[in-house]
Amino acid sequence: MANPLSNKKRIRGWKRRIKQIDQWKKHNMHLDLEELRSAQRDYVKLWIDPFYRLNRRNPPVWYSRLLLEAMIEVYHSWSRQMASLNEPFYLRIWFYHPNFIQSQIVVAFRDALHFYDNTFETGGESQVFPWDLYGTVRGLEDFIWEPAAEAEPYCLPGQPRSQAAQVWLGRIQ
């Protein structure tokens, strides 16, 4: 019997999984500005089945590239919407590696502008962004990627704490 926590478990219906990316992108392309004005911050995670469940698994690299491309399009859409408000804002892609499915897009402004400033510790080590895996993604070269580390790292089951995910905070200048 296969290990249920293994990343190698067979997944059927890849065409349907690709359509899920399009549905995720379409659903998150437009910020709910009324909700954002009341909460002053918002985020969107990669809630895509079967990867984002109680036991999270990383998708294959080719699928992660499609997800990252969709995240970049959502980022650009949010950036345009926030720029139209003519207020300073915090907008970043939090890119987790190797736990890609933890990645998310975060936005904050007004009183919550500095809410996320202490979420991560600065990545003092000389870390290199995984360009070899994701370098072909359209629009990725436009981003400035800053290494960071989680204060309390999240590890996948069976993964030692020393191999916790690296976090990259991506933004466009």
Instruction: Look at residue 154 and tell me whether its pLDDT is greater than 80.
Output: no
Q: For the segment 96-143, what is each residue's pLDDT rounded down to a tens digit?
A: 888 888 889 999 999 999 898 888 877 656 678 899 999 899 999 999
Residue bearing the bigger pLDDT, 6 or 34: 34
* This prediction's pTM: 0.84
User: Which among 164, 95, 102, 156 has a CA at the least distance from the CA of 130?
Assistant: 95
Tokens 């709910």 belong to which residue? Answer: 32
- Averaged over 146-159, what is the pLDDT? 68
pLDDT tens figures, 43-87: 999 888 777 777 777 888 998 999 999 999 999 999 999 999 999
pLDDT > 70? residue 26: yes
Query: Which residues lie closer than 8 Å to 129 by C-beta, 6 or more apart?
Result: 145, 147, 168
For 120, the 3-state DSSP assignment is: strand
The CB-side HSE value for 71 (13 A sphere, CA atoms) comes to 31
